[in-house]
Amino acid sequence: MNFLKSSDKNLKELIKGGSFAFVLKAIGMLFSYLSMLFITRFYGAEEWGLYSLCFTVLSIAVIIPVFGFDNSIVRLLTELNLSNNKKETLKVITKASLLTITISILIILGIDQFSEFITLNILNQEGFEPFLALVRTAILPMAFLILISAIFQSFKKIIQFMLFKSALLSFFFLTLLCSFYLLEIEAQVFEIYLYAILASLFVAIVAVIFLLNSKKQGEFAIAKSYSYKDLIYLSFPMMLSSSFALLMGWTDILMLSYFKTPKDIGIYSSALKLASIALIALASVNSIASPKFVEFYSKKDFQGLKDVVQKSTKIMFMVSAPFLIILILFSKSILSIFGPEFVSGSLVLILLCLARFINSISGSVGYIMQMTDNQLKYQTIIGIAFLINLILNFILVPKFGINGAAMSSAIAMIFWNVSLVIIIKKRLGFWTFYIPFLAK
């Protein structure tokens, strides 16, 4: 009877918290899609491709400064919040911030030093140096924006978490895009995105200061502390995992950059962004489920953990499946909204949606692994998936172009989702899969 009550409570919390997150994530993605529509309509596929390449390089460059803190902080601060240990919470945030600043400076200097090599030998895009300079400028503010959003997630402030994770940045970007265009102010699209990052960071800093000031030290807080060594030891495997996961997602763009044109990147990026609509459900549920994974695992309550995992997977599937089906059935019509040249990405969209369908029925496998002391195993699987994607891209992109890139990405994503589902079954004793009509 107690279990049933606990189960109902978990479901209500997932639905309530996930609903708020879903709405904000959906709003953020709406702004993001409107920005994409604006750029493709008024600037064309090539300019959208250049922006997408800049965004990809920034996403990769930010991995090391963030250093896995976006996951490790959620885990550490959730544990500290359970005992109201404000002093150690502030210390952990300060240490993570100092590490982020130090690593960001090193990355910025490194990109500056090897700017020409990166442009000509890795990206194979002559004349890309000015864009790379914009990317360098965006690294530190973007890293801090990610860090602050993780702090809100650890405190279960889901509205603020999703706001700073995506919605606010997308809103500022669309607003500035329209303003610059209407006022006829000349600026690169990615330069406008940089201004949106800075505006979002300013709001986020003010919000996190208010949040931390509102917290009080618990009278019976457990005396627990984390050194720089502890923080690095926990975060480093998560950083490697994030690196492989992100690189796996963006290898396609980098390969297309090397073998194809910015126009090809633009068409592929549009299909990729549309397929990512399934991430609304994934990100929304994970925002509330991840701290709960930590809570149940810390208490060694594996039945409670199983309950939360399986319910969260069901919610992810129920929300994402209708979107994916529509995208698959009407792929050409939807892509034509961005212009006739984008219709050639129809097969790309279908392949990417099929992979995300497997992702949705697998559940939050990555988060589960990282929140239950299985980050090293997760790192291994995602590393293998990255290599699979990389090798397949080298083989398929020169011959099949954007369709080859999509096929490579889909195979790699299916591999790592299925592999992690099996590992979780072996290590934690339950399946994360949700298969409609077969599930109870």
Tell me how far apart the alpha carbons of residues 273 and 356 are, in angstroms, rounded to a whole number: 12
- Which pLDDT score is estimated for 207? 95
Contact predicate 32/273, CB 8 Å = yes
What's the rounded Cα separation, in Å, for the pair 303 and 6? 10
Q: In whole angstroms, what is the distance from residue 320 CA to residue 274 CA?
A: 12
> According to the model, what pLDDT value does residue 141 have?
96
Q: Which tokens is 142 given?
A: 């973007």
The pLDDT score that the predictor gives to residue 98 is: 94
| Whole-number Å distance between alpha carbons of 187 and 121 | 27
State which residues of the chain have pLDDT below 50: 1-6, 440
* pLDDT value at residue 315: 82
pTM tops 0.85, yes or no: no
Q: Which residue has the tokens 């000031």?
A: 213
* CA distance linking residue 360 with residue 340, whole number of Å: 30
Q: How many CB atoms lie within 10 A of CB 31?
A: 21
**What integer pLDDT is reported at residue 4 of this predicted model?**
39
Distance (Å, rounded) from C-alpha 23 to C-alpha 284? 8
**pLDDT at residue number 308:** 83
Cα 326 to Cα 197: distance, rounded to the nearest angstrom = 32
Tell me what pLDDT residue 3 has: 38
Q: Tokens at residue 84, please?
A: 């109201």
Tokens of 335: 């892509």
